[in-house]
Structure 1
Amino acid sequence: MLLATWNVNSIIPRMPRLLEWLERLRPDVVCLQETKIADAKLPRLELSGLGYEVAGVGQGAWNGVAIASRIGIDHVTTGLTGDDGFEGTVEARAIGATCGRLRVWSLYVPNGREPGHPHYAYKLRWLAALHGVAAAELQRGQPLALCGDFNVAPSDADVWDPAEFVNSTHVTPQEREALARLRELGLHDIVPRPLKYDTPFTYWDYRAGNFHKNLGMRIDLVYVTAALQEAMRDAYIDRDMRKGKLPSDHAPVVVAFD
């Protein structure tokens, strides 16, 4: 089975790339983030032409997550139990589904903006809600994968220069502790092969040629249960999809299981 996750940073301008990539790679399940499209406008028809069923939750020009599957979609859940939203609005940041034997979630964790900002407090609450959902999912005994843009670098090795991130979000002890709590549940962080350089970065800012300088971060993550980790035979970052015309600022993470 081939599982992938990709923050497309707006699905409509990325459709030519996405369709070409899906046709070439043929992943069984793809988690998408930042679709930035209303539910009714999600391009299900185009994706179904390649054999994918799609479940998504959108919020117009903001946020949005989806799951595309060639092995079926069932028991779809939108949102996280315990998510109280930001300033009264529950945002489109989480969708779960059963795809074949796999229970999978596509997640777009709040950015947090800056430590001390109300959005940072929301981010920590959201991650706490995710922990609760993950714990409940694990009670099912089903293979589980949490995939998406976590907006947290698990360690200093996951950013190009820790000194550049002092007093910034994505690297604070509180955010990293939230990831550690997921691992304490028995979930495993799959660290993919970078294919180039020795750093498995998944995100590079559009500005200042950061991609070509490899000034990036590993914030697109895949957390899996122990059985899935044992069945994993490869994991890599598809850097080619960050190149060329109209790329997302994220590259897909691809994981192959026996």
Structure 2
Amino acid sequence: MPMIETPHMRMPKLGLGTWPMKGAECQAAVESAIGLGYRHLDTAEMYGNEEAVGAGIAASGVARDALFVTTKVWHDKLTPDGIRGAIAASLARLKLDHVDLFLIHWPNPAMDLDACLRSLEAARGAGLARAVGVCNFPPKLFRRALTAGITPIACLQVEHHIYLDQTPLLDLAREHGAAFTCYSPTTKNAVAEDPAIRGIAQKHGATPVQVALAWVLRHPHVAAIPKSAGVLNQGANLGALALRLDAEDLATIAALPKNRRLVNPAFAPDWENG
């Protein structure tokens, strides 16, 4: 498994996203993914599946230190007490003594960013999280977190795929030595019906989903966490690691519209000006 190495952490480039799986389905998916060689597992308080992820980890028989586990605090708990309680509760549900990465899941306009960052640093300093970071921060807010000097922002997790241009965030992450994790990297399978992507896939003997994953993974500091419940799809996603897109492929993908956002809840920040 290729790794992303930054001054703040070492993270596998391809992980298993677990939203919206729950219960036995989620536990089985975690177990099968680990069995195939996945070592990066992504969950969150809001997903309601931390217990299942933890059970899958325990049943896998793989040493804890060989795994990279991410969880997140929900936007209604972005106070010092809320963050402190959230990571303790997540660790209890996961049955782990630490996570490798602890993230603010969504920003909250009422949050005191500096206070939140101090709480993340406290969790990191206490060994509850080996690294900390943020999700769904627009460029201005992400820059504020990166330059606050309160805690090292090890990672940004955000929607990123062939239909959404995230260049400003990618550039900020690279500039400041932060990893960049993509959720919805396979466009919720919209690529399966895209003639341009189907053509690239046919040329390489690959699938459209593998093309989409190869496109995001081509950057050395970028990871992807596609959700996949079944062992066949999990194995196919691993195959994207070996797919190399050529200049013609990249030009074809560059010509596709880049303003298609798949995840945009009512509480989302102002993506352009936030």
TM-score under structure 1 length normalisation? 0.43
> Which one has the bigger strand percentage?
1
Say which one has the larger Rg: 2
